[in-house]
Amino acid sequence: MARPAFGILGRVGERRSPDGVVRLDADRRLVEEARSDPARFEALYRKYVAQVYAFALYELRDHHEAEDVTERTFMLALAGLPRFEERGAVPHAGRPDAGGATRGAAARPRGGTASVDDAVPDPADASSFRPWLFRIARNVVAGQRRTSRRRPTAPLELAAGIADPLDVAYDAELRDEARTAWSAVDRLPDDRRRAVVLRFVEEMSAAEIGEVLDRSEGAVRVLLHRALRAVAADLRRDESGRRDGGTP
């Protein structure tokens, strides 16, 4: 899956791993093709449509609204593609940050040359297009919420399909635990809940989530840590409730 390539070192969008191989942004080729011929945007669409849809569904808990958000996200992405700037620093794991601080746009390197020290070992599939796309999705979701003027009413575990009694994939106990865990996620503050969904459902790195939520990487790690602590506390309560013989 890794796409090693050899070229000019230190250019934005390229990351060098300790083995000296320069890795290009995973979506660079697709983005460049779509820029030169917008009809080829379809490849990026096919790659990310399910992820964007899942994010929208977890946020809005409504299938139709999620479809609407997905469609508008990709239309806006297509329109905004010429303005998209590939950023080599997106998946950077070692960027200094003040935990909990919101990172300003000015702090992000745009254009110019990135030092080789900025390059760190990253997952080979790291992309700066994906966080950019999800930022659009996040904004479209916010707009959708303003328009519909209502908060999602369906519980997260229902939206996630965990409570589906016809789903034989989960045994009863795991389903109970899963329901407790996702209910706990549902009760988290928006940013923590979003971070959990992006981490566990979309499998984004903390750095990518930081780009989406406009937070530093360290702040995202703290968000996730606190979120998991809250989920663990709920699971503990649930477990002790079951042990005591009563309903949790």
Partner 1 sequence: MRGAIGEALRIDLLRVDALRTDAYVEALIAGTGGTGAGAEPGRRASQPTAEERPAATIEVDPEIAEAARLLHATAWRPHPSFRFEERVAARLAAAARGRLSAEDAAAGTIVAFPAAAAAVVPAMRPGAPLAGIVSAAIASAALSIGAAAVLAWRRGRPRRRVA
By CB under 8 A, tell whether 224 contacts partner 1: yes
Which amino acid belongs to residue 115? S
Closest approach of Cβ 177 to partner 1, in Å? 6
DSSP sequence for 44-95: HHHHHHHHHHHHHHHHH--HHHHHHHHHHHHHHHHHHGGG----TTTT-S--
Torsion of CA 13, 9, 126, 28, to 10 degrees: 50
By CB under 8 A, tell whether 160 contacts partner 1: yes
**CA separation for the pair 28, 26 (Å, rounded):** 6
Q: Judged by CB, which is closer to partner 1: 12, or 208? A: 208
- Candidates 225, 237, 240, 241: give the one binding partner 1 (CB under 8 A): 225
Q: Judged by CB, which is closer to partner 1: 10, or 163? A: 163
Q: Judged by CB, which is closer to partner 1: 66, or 141? A: 66
Query: Residue numbers of the site for partner 1 (CB under 8 A)?
Result: 37-39, 41-42, 45-46, 49-51, 53-54, 57, 66-67, 70-72, 74-76, 78-79, 99, 123, 125, 160-162, 169-171, 173-174, 177-178, 181-182, 185, 196, 199-201, 203, 205-206, 218, 221-222, 224-225, 228-229, 231-233, 235-236
